[in-house]
Chain A
Amino acid sequence: MMKHFARRLKVQDNINTDYVISGRYKFKIQDPKELARYIFEDIDPEFAARVKKGDILVAGDNFGCGSSREQAPVALKQAGFQAVVAKSFARIFYRNAFNIGLLLVECNTNFIDDGDELEIDIEKSKVHNTSKGLKLDMKPLPMVMRKLLQDGGVIEHFKKHGGFKFE
């Protein structure tokens, strides 16, 4: 069980990975700590400074669309996000996030405001908005994603099992 605070983006839908971390930075910077300073610069330049360790990023539909850049989830994790909660995710970003051990949760984010306190219950597939006293249904986490998360990412999973072990 986790207990954290929502950081809601001004723009909600179709947040592409260029917006998460611009090509101006990702092509030349290899240090995740430095990358994390520039998240969402093109759509919300003050956002990065507001993020605190343990926060949960809140967005709308199709979060993470566009480029395959793994620097996007890496920078979000490095910035301190424990998880991203969105209405839906684009598929490459979805894999990339779990591969590096960043939790993504799909639920109706209309009922989450910036600063709300959230608890994510993966076992019961619920997102509790304790600030509003709401229990939101989340899409159950697929078995593969659960395994990757449990092991701390795909590299750790692969090394631990000598390959993929999803059963």
Chain B
Amino acid sequence: MGKTISEKILSNHAGKPVKAGDVAVCSVDFCFGQDGTSAIIIDSFKKLGVDKVFDKSKFCMVIDHSAPSPNIGVSEIHKKMRTFAKTFDVGLYDIGCGVCHQLIPQNGHVTCGDLVLGADSHTCTYGAINVFSTGVGSTDLAIALASGKNWFKVPETIKMIVKGKLPKGVTSKDIILHIAKDIGADGATYRSVEFYGEAISDLSVDARLTISNMAVEIGAKAGLMEADKKVLKWVSERTKKAPNPVKADIDARYCMVKEYDVSNLSPQVAKPHTVDNVSGVEELADVKIDQAYLGTCTNGRIEDLEIAAKILKGKSVHRDVKFIVAPASKEIYLEAAKKGIVKALVDAGAIIVAPGCGPCVGTHNGVLADGEVAISTANRNFKGRMGNPKGFIYLASPATVAASAIAGKIADPREYKKRL
């Protein structure tokens, strides 16, 4: 019987062949934490009673969730992280560097075929570059930090084949929202997903990262893609680590196969308060918005800012809308400045905040008032996510968010087809 990508990567790291359902102790190639999870990583690491990390080059911490710090409690956590980084001589991306899920692949910490753990649920993002990466809690991460290993239950895999050519103004975010609607918020729990099909191959690597990023929103442990030429080029430009691309066998066993055709897909929007509560944008034309947010580990990359700038160039953000933008990293911020994207956005009325998670996690930089409505490029619209349980969050693509920021209500980006 052939193997899935998950079975192969986990076998390679267990030092023995494993299959879905097996439990194996595997070595990890990289692990990290962020400022929402690192305080407990540090506490748990100390409780383990070890005096050094397993490999300084295979761990880092990222201060991104509340950066710069909005209050004393967070400042204390940041200080604790900085002290730990100095004491153990490990990597730290401090405030302003960007979001962990942008920095880890962008800065070459991971490559095809790697096994990666992150103390953040969206660690599944790097599945798009053929990395088995998954989110764990802080104590699980501390175990990996101390020993270089952790235990894994080898997941079953769902194969998703995405066919067709995406229409103009419709993006990878719309694909994954459409999938979430179909399969549900728990549709892939305990399982991995492998994505195939021409609609996936046609996407840039950046756009693919958006899809894998949201694999956890359907419950998946990993959201994997094959390493094609685009991925190998992308990876080789960012890391010296040799890639070990992993393909599924032709006779690999899948627990489910799903097929989607996106040829006629409209821009998709997830309505409050769950990610799988999805409608086509055309059904939501009368929803007024108070805030629009462009950024996050889902959609804060250069092409996300670029598509928004194309729509907004020479236009104005609606007077009733606060349009907040957080580039996913310092490098993206600088590239956007160089390309005139920053100017186009700010001229239109956008407020650019520091690279980081920004308002997505509700700690600062755009907390909603009671009854306010936001449209965001993030991956979660849970009640209270943007800091106020009496707020309402809609999720959409950067194009839809930009079009909505202009209209003051949820709007269809296909109106701007000629600009895209």
CB within 8 Å of B: which residues of A? 14, 16, 18-19, 22-24, 26-30, 41-43, 61-62, 65-71, 73-74, 88, 90-92, 95-96, 99-100, 142-144, 153-155, 158-159, 163-164, 166
Q: Which residue from chain B places its CB closest to the CB of A71 in the assembled complex?
A: B40
- The residue in chain A whose Cβ has the minimal distance to the Cβ of B390 is A42
* Whole-angstrom CA separation of A163 from B27 in the bound complex: 13
Q: Which bracket fits the contact residues of B?
A: 35 or more
Q: Contact partner of A66 among B48, B72, B121, B149, CB < 8 A?
A: B121
Q: Which residues on the B side are within 8 Å of A143 (C-beta)?
A: 23
- Is the Cβ of A23 less than 8 Å from the Cβ of B387? yes
Known: A29-B73, A91-B190, A155-B143. 8 other contacts (CB 8 A): A18-B383, A19-B384, A28-B72, A62-B186, A66-B380, A69-B37, A92-B135, A95-B137
Q: Is B361 an interface residue (CB 8 A)?
A: yes
How far, in Å, is B300 (CB) from chain A's closest CB?
Answer: 18
Chain B residues with CB under 8 A of A19: 382-384
A16 to B71, CA, bound (A): 25
Cα A18 to Cα B65 in complex, Å, equals 14
Separation of A14 and B73 alpha carbons in the complex (Å): 29
A96-B72 Cα distance, complex, nearest whole Å? 27
Interchain residue pairs A-B with the least CB separation, the first 10: A28-B73, A96-B137, A62-B186, A42-B389, A70-B137, A42-B384, A68-B121, A68-B135, A70-B138, A99-B139
CB <8 Å contact, A96 and B387: no
With a cutoff of 8 Å between Cβ atoms, the chain A residues found around residue B48 in the complex are 155, 158-159
User: Mind listing 16 A-B residue pairs with CB under 8 Å?
Assistant: A14-B274, A18-B382, A42-B383, A43-B383, A67-B120, A69-B37, A70-B37, A70-B137, A71-B40, A88-B189, A90-B186, A95-B136, A95-B140, A100-B139, A153-B139, A155-B143
Name A45's closest neighbour in chain B (CB-CB): B389
Complex alpha-carbon distance, A28 and B190, angstroms? 30
Known: A65-B185, A88-B186, A164-B151. A27 touches B73 (CB 8 A): yes
- By the criterion CB–CB under 8 Å, are A27 and B74 in contact? yes
Q: In this complex, what residue of B is CB-closest to A72? A: B137
Give, as a whole number of angstroms, the nearest-CB distance from B32 to chain A. Answer: 12
A16, A23, A74: the one within 8 Å of B363 (CB): A23
**B37 adjacent to A27 (CB under 8 Å):** no
Contact with A along B113-155 (1 / 0, CB 8 A): 0000001110100000000000111111011001101010100
B349 at the interface (CB under 8 A from A): no
B47 at interface by CB-CB < 8 Å: yes
Assembly CA distance A69 to B71 (angstroms): 20
**Inter-subunit contact B189/A91 (CB<8 Å):** yes
Q: Is the CB of A91 within 8 A of B384?
A: no
- Contact yes or no, A27 B143, CB < 8 A: no
Q: Within the assembled complex, what's the spacing in Å between the Cα atoms of A95 and B23? A: 13
Given contacts A14-B274, A67-B121, A92 and B136 within 8 Å (CB-CB): yes
- A66 and B172 CA atoms in complex are apart in Å by 21
Residues of B participating in the A interface, judged by any CB pair closer than 8 Å: 23, 25, 35-37, 39-40, 44, 47-49, 65-66, 71-74, 76-77, 119-121, 123, 135-140, 142-143, 146-147, 149, 151, 153, 185-186, 189-190, 216, 219, 221, 274, 361-363, 380, 382-385, 387, 389
Complex contact A155–B71 (CB within 8 A): no
Checking B71, B77, B138, B362 against A23 with a beta-carbon cut-off of 8 angstroms, the contacting residue is B362
What separation, in Å, do the CA atoms of A71 and B138 have in the docked complex? 9
User: Could you tell me the distance between the alpha carbons of A27 and B81 in the complex, rounded to whole angstroms?
Assistant: 13
Query: Which B residues are CB-close (under 8 A) to A16?
Result: 380, 382
Do the beta carbons of A69 and B384 come within 8 Å of each other? no
A68, B140: Cα distance in complex, Å: 11
Instruction: For B361, list chain A residues within 8 Å (CB).
Output: 23, 27
Q: Considering the chains assembled together, what is the distance between the CA atoms of A19 and B138 in angstroms?
A: 19
Smallest CB–CB gap between B172 and chain A, Å? 21
Contacts of B186 in A (CB 8 A): 14, 61-62, 65, 88, 90
Query: Which chain A residue shows the least CB distance to B41?
Result: A70
Q: Could you tell me the distance in whole angstroms from the C-beta of A59 to the nearest C-beta in chain B?
A: 13
Report how far A74 CA is from B71 CA in the complex, Å.
22
Q: What is the bound-complex CA distance between A18 and B379, given in angstroms?
A: 13
Taking a contact as CB atoms under 8 Å apart, the answer to whether B185 and A69 are in contact is no
A28-B74, A62-B219, A164-B151 given as contacts; is B137 within 8 A of A155 (CB)? no
Quick one: given A154-B139, A166-B151, are A23 and B385 in contact (CB under 8 Å)?
yes
Residue of A nearest to B69 (CB): A28
Asked if residues B363 and A27 are in contact (CB atoms below 8 Å), the reply is yes
Closest chain-B Cβ to A6's Cβ sits at a distance in Å of 22
Q: Which residues of A contact B37 (CB under 8 A)?
A: 68-70
Contact assessment for B77 and A166 in the assembled complex, using a CB-CB cutoff below 8 Å: no
Q: How far is the CB of A153 from chain B (nearest CB, A)?
A: 8
Which A residues are CB-close (under 8 A) to B77? 27-28, 30
Cα A74 to Cα B35 in complex, Å, equals 17
**Shortest CB distance A164–B (Å):** 5
Quick one: closest A residue to B361, CB to CB?
A23
